[in-house]
Amino acid sequence: MPDFLLVLFLFNLSLFLLHEMDAIRRSEWQLFIVLKDMEDSKAYKVFTFIHLFLYLLILTLLFSEYQTIVFWFLDIFFIIHTILHLFFEKHPRNGFKNAFSRLIIYPMGILAVIHLLFLINT
């Protein structure tokens, strides 16, 4: 993979990690079916703990022979994730209705589309 594509992907992955930090601050678990009914302190712990395994899986696969598949999968995930945030804009528990959060979320989807198009053409 050309260096530019790798840097683009890593920048986007960094945006995702930043978004997940913001998600904890904004209590994103309140948007999830199972977690929204839990006590806030317990839901926070479950939500945060799930991310340990998510990050471990992503980083492990990035350093494996499946790296290219991970690039594709995460680009598609980032696009779907961004679209879901767009659909949830009017949700009463959505805490991402501010410029800071939006400047993390929406470029992530746009950059994923760009990265995916480059992957397709290489």
What pLDDT score does 122 carry?
Answer: 81
Model pLDDT for residues 25-52, shown as the tens digit of each residue: 999 999 999 999 999 999 999 999 999 9
Is the whole-model pTM more than 0.75?
yes
What pLDDT score does 64 carry?
Answer: 92
What pLDDT score does 1 carry?
Answer: 58
Write the secondary structure of the chain as one string of H (helix), E (strand) and C (coil). Answer: CCHHHHHHHHHHHHHHHHHHHHHHHCCHHHHCCCHHHCCHHHHHHHHHHHHHHHHHHHHHHHCCCCHHHHHHHHHHHHHHHHHHHHHCCCCCCCCCCCHHHHHHHHHHHHHHHHHHHHHHCC
Return the domain boundaries, the chain.
3-120
Instruction: Assess whether pLDDT exceeds 90 at residue 23.
Output: yes
Mean pLDDT on 44-64:
94
Average pLDDT, the chain: 94
